[in-house]
Amino acid sequence: MSETLANLLQENRRFEPPAALAEAANVKADAYTEADADRLEFWATQARRLDWTKPWDRILDWDNPPFAKWFVGGELNVAYNCLDRHVAAGNGDKVAIHWEGEPGDTRTLTYADLHKLTCQAANALTDLGVRAGDRVAIYLPMIPEAAVAMLACARIGATHSVVFGGFSVDALAGRIQDASAKVVITADGGYRRGKPSALKPTVDEAVAQSPTIEHVLVVRRTGEDVAWSDKDHWWHETVETAGEQHEAQPFDAEHPLFILYTSGTTAKPKGILHTTGGYLTQASYTQHAVFDLKPETDVYWCTADIGWVTGHSYIVYGPLSNGATQVMYEGTPDTPHKGRFWDIVDKYGVTILYTAPTLIRTMMKWGDEFPAAANLSSLRVLGSVGEPINPEAWMWYRKNIGHDNTPVVDTWWQTETGAIMISPLPGVTATKPGSAMRPLPGISADVVDDEGNSVPNGGGGFLVLREPWPSMLRTIWGDDQRFVDTYWSRFQGMYFAGDGAKKDDDGDLWLLGRVDDVMLVSGHNISTTEVESALVSHPSVAEAAVVGATDPTTGQAIVAFTIPRGSVDSEGDAGEALIKELRDHVAKTLGPIAKPRQIMLVPELPKTRSGKIMRRLLRDVAERRSLGDVTTLQDSTVMDLISDGMKSAK
Ligand code: ATP
Ligand code: MG
């Protein structure tokens, strides 16, 4: 990029933390001072929130960058920290998971229940020949067994590789083969959109292509018929009959805990490797700090899927290591009706909610009446993750879900970072709608220009991390060189996140989306995020995705794909009028340079299974190319609809 990113959008709204929340917050402003004074000692203090069987000799070994070792020589067991120690402390009867199936069936699992099941699963996996260091693939719906399977692997030192339950045979087989997994844990199926959705047939095909798989463990969820081979074992006949006693063995702080493939929003997914001590330290601390989680009184709900890193860190390892009570929901947000999420909040008295901008925008599109129909007064902290949150979506979230007084924490992080890196602290930060604000205590993020120089306040450029952090990825599985090339080669001695960002006049951070997504229009760098936020600020727009398409006169031109809100008439002439109004609205909000060349009104946007907009596919459409890698796309028919619309628009 020749110039810095454009700094177009103005935002002057500020929201102070509620006084009572600030007063009682787990983490206060002194955490920043403490971490600034001695970063490594700060992280050592957070690591001591866990139980270690052997203390570390050295906090950080960064002698061979970018290959980090945290808490060198220390030993601990992750499952012990998530389960046994809570049971030992007398909290065995405390609810760990309020689970709700999509059809409305429920299960309540206490810490003692979860501990027992995890011990049984650990014994069953051991009986199937799984040993420390082996890889186990997990391909499950959102049922408690998903958490149990992950914890059982952690307990015996097997490295899990969770694959989204919505992925195809090829995506699953590719991940099994890349990790040389020995066992797959799956289910007959799960419930989605009101009906059973089978998983086992996909596993059968993937296993047929994957000679390393020795056993398949199958949870019965839907009761539908499944094909059976001699590698298959029913969970209820294997795990639920296994011994309930299991002694957790300690593992080295750098023992591989899991491999997880990135969402594939910008490129082919990468197998990200996370290890034990540093990962759990940061997942656990950030859960405590960013959500102000009080295990005695809070009911926490993260709506992510466990197939996504958010599900790993903030459904399994973060909440359970803190002894939280949480809600886990199997299905889709509009089954049987569009108020399902709010009914769940109401029913369980959820106090902390963590979700994604894609969901918030979908809820905006559906209308305010759905949250208004439920009692959401229990909520006290709201979180967002996955994409930049548009200021208008942030405001809607605070107002309609957070009764206008709940802090919203916009958390920036990646599969690679393992845990939250940049976020407000709910009891400390005066938030700005759309800004992730500051790096957390102990984290050193910055925005740099082309040459790697820190930009002054008011400037924009590339988001980097200057110092190693405990939950950082250790490598790309089986490909150290790609790890070095992808993240550590763009700027000397810094981790390059791949995201654009700007610092406002106060030095607060605004994420601008992927660097790949920045458009160069007549010599001006314009971020897709800012144009999208301008579109979403129009009352007729629910969602927007913007891409730069090659243009003979301007280099790149802005093409916007826009979903109108539910109540808006967008057919025929009304549609044409709306398009004109939106182009003018963007020009008025951001300046004429940002006026889209073309706006398409579309019913849906292409998204990954984790709900992120796949702009690279829209760019392919806008430039009339054949589509790139679509293996992580949620719904492939969406692309046909959009491509057809593009053709008719000429
Ligand atoms: P791939 O790397 O394969 O393209 P991906 O980057 O979508 O996939 P993830 O690790 O799930 O895979 O997503 C991390 C990315 O999500 C970040 O780099 C950033 O672009 C975006 N992101 C996450 N949280 C936020 C946030 N709060 N604000 C802005 N962007 C965010
Ligand atoms: Mg990425």
Q: How confident is the model at residue 166 (pLDDT cuts 50, 70, 90)?
A: confident
Kindly state if the Cβ of 153 falls inside 6 Å of ligand 1: no
- 515 Cα: distance to centroid of ligand 1 (angstroms): 11
pLDDT of residue 7 exceeding 60, the answer is: no
- 345 Cα: distance to centroid of ligand 2 (angstroms): 31
Rounded to two decimals, the pTM is: 0.93
Rounded Cα distance, 325 and 338, in Å: 25
Give the residue with greater pLDDT, 268 vs 99.
99
Question: Could you tell me the CA-to-CA distances from 489 to 5, 139, 444, 494 in Å, in that order?
Answer: 21, 34, 18, 8
Q: What is the pLDDT of residue 513?
A: 86
Rounded Cα distance, 209 and 226, in Å: 19
Backbone φ and ψ for 89, nearest 5 degrees, come out as -85, 5
**Ligand 1 atom 27 nearest Cα:** 412
How many other CB atoms are found less than 10 A from the CB of residue 147?
28
Ligand nearest to the CA of 517: 1
Cα torsion 491, 493, 498, 499 to 10°: value is: -100
**Ligand 1 atom 16 nearest Cα:** 386
SS3 state of residue 49: coil
58-78 average pLDDT score: 98
Question: Dihedral of CA 304/310/311/315: which sign?
Answer: negative
Atom of ligand 1 nearest to the CA of 269: 3
How many other CB atoms are found less than 10 A from the CB of residue 93?
10
31-49 average pLDDT score: 98
Which of 390, 175, 185 has its CA nearest to residue 264?
175
SS3 state of residue 205: helix
Rounded Cα distance, 616 and 625, in Å: 11
Q: What is the pLDDT of residue 266?
A: 72
Rounded Cα distance, 417 and 413, in Å: 6
The answer to whether 321 and 287 are in contact (CB under 8 A) is yes
First to last CA, the chain: 31
Give the residue with greater pLDDT, 649 vs 536.
536
- E strand residue ranges, 18-140: 58-64, 67-72, 75-76, 95-100, 106-110, 135-139
Q: How confident is the model at residue 331 (pLDDT cuts 50, 70, 90)?
A: very high
278-296 average pLDDT score: 98
Rounded Cα distance, 528 and 285, in Å: 33
Q: How confident is the model at residue 8 (pLDDT cuts 50, 70, 90)?
A: low
Q: How confident is the model at residue 649 (pLDDT cuts 50, 70, 90)?
A: low
Question: Could you tell me the CA-to-CA distances from 623 to 177, 278, 647 in Å, in that order?
Answer: 34, 44, 11
Triad 16, 20, 25: Cα angle to 5°:
85
92-129 pLDDT, tens per residue? 999 999 999 999 999 999 999 999 999 999 999 999 99
- Lowest mean pLDDT, pick from 29-43, 128-142, 163-177, 210-224: 163-177
Q: How confident is the model at residue 3 (pLDDT cuts 50, 70, 90)?
A: very low
Q: List residues forming the annotated binding site.
A: 192-195, 310, 386-388, 410-415, 499, 514, 522, 536, 538, 541
Residues 6 or more apart whose CB falls under 8 angstroms from that of 159 comprise 133, 134, 135, 136, 153, 179, 256, 257, 258, 259
Question: Could you tell me the CA-to-CA distances from 95 to 114, 155, 296, 308 in Å, in that order?
Answer: 9, 21, 10, 24
- 107 Cα: distance to centroid of ligand 1 (angstroms): 32
Q: How many CA atoms lie within 13 A of 71 on its CB side?
A: 33
Rounded Cα distance, 143 and 132, in Å: 25
Ligand nearest to the CA of 463: 1
**Ligand 1 atom 3 nearest Cα:** 264
Q: How confident is the model at residue 2 (pLDDT cuts 50, 70, 90)?
A: very low
Triad 583, 388, 599: Cα angle to 5°:
20
Ligand nearest to the CA of 514: 1
Strand partners, 354: 302, 383
348-355 average pLDDT score: 98
22-40 average pLDDT score: 98
Question: Could you tell me the CA-to-CA distances from 521 to 491, 518, 527, 649 in Å, in that order?
Answer: 25, 10, 10, 22
pLDDT averaged over every residue in the chain: 94
Atom of ligand 1 nearest to the CA of 272: 10
pLDDT of residue 569 exceeding 50, the answer is: yes
**Ligand 1 atom 5 nearest Cα:** 263
366-374 average pLDDT score: 95
476-505 average pLDDT score: 96
516-535 pLDDT, tens per residue? 888 889 888 888 998 999 99
Question: Could you tell me the CA-to-CA distances from 174 to 134, 209, 307, 609 in Å, in that order?
Answer: 17, 9, 15, 17
Kindly state if the Cβ of 264 falls inside 6 Å of ligand 1: yes
- 630 Cα: distance to centroid of ligand 1 (angstroms): 17
**CA-atom Rg of the chain in angstroms:** 24
Q: List residues forming the annotated binding site for ATP.
A: 386-388, 410-415, 499, 514
545-550 average pLDDT score: 93
591-598 average pLDDT score: 93
Q: Residue 521 belongs to what H/E stretch?
A: strand 519-521
Question: Could you tell me the CA-to-CA distances from 87 to 79, 81, 91, 153, 244 in Å, in that order?
Answer: 12, 10, 5, 19, 14
SS3 state of residue 275: strand
Kindly state if the Cβ of 269 falls inside 6 Å of ligand 1: yes
Whether the ipTM is more than 0.90: the answer is yes
416-429 pLDDT, tens per residue? 999 999 999 999 99
Q: How much of the chain, in percent, has pLDDT values that exceed 70? A: 98
252-264 pLDDT, tens per residue? 999 999 999 998 7
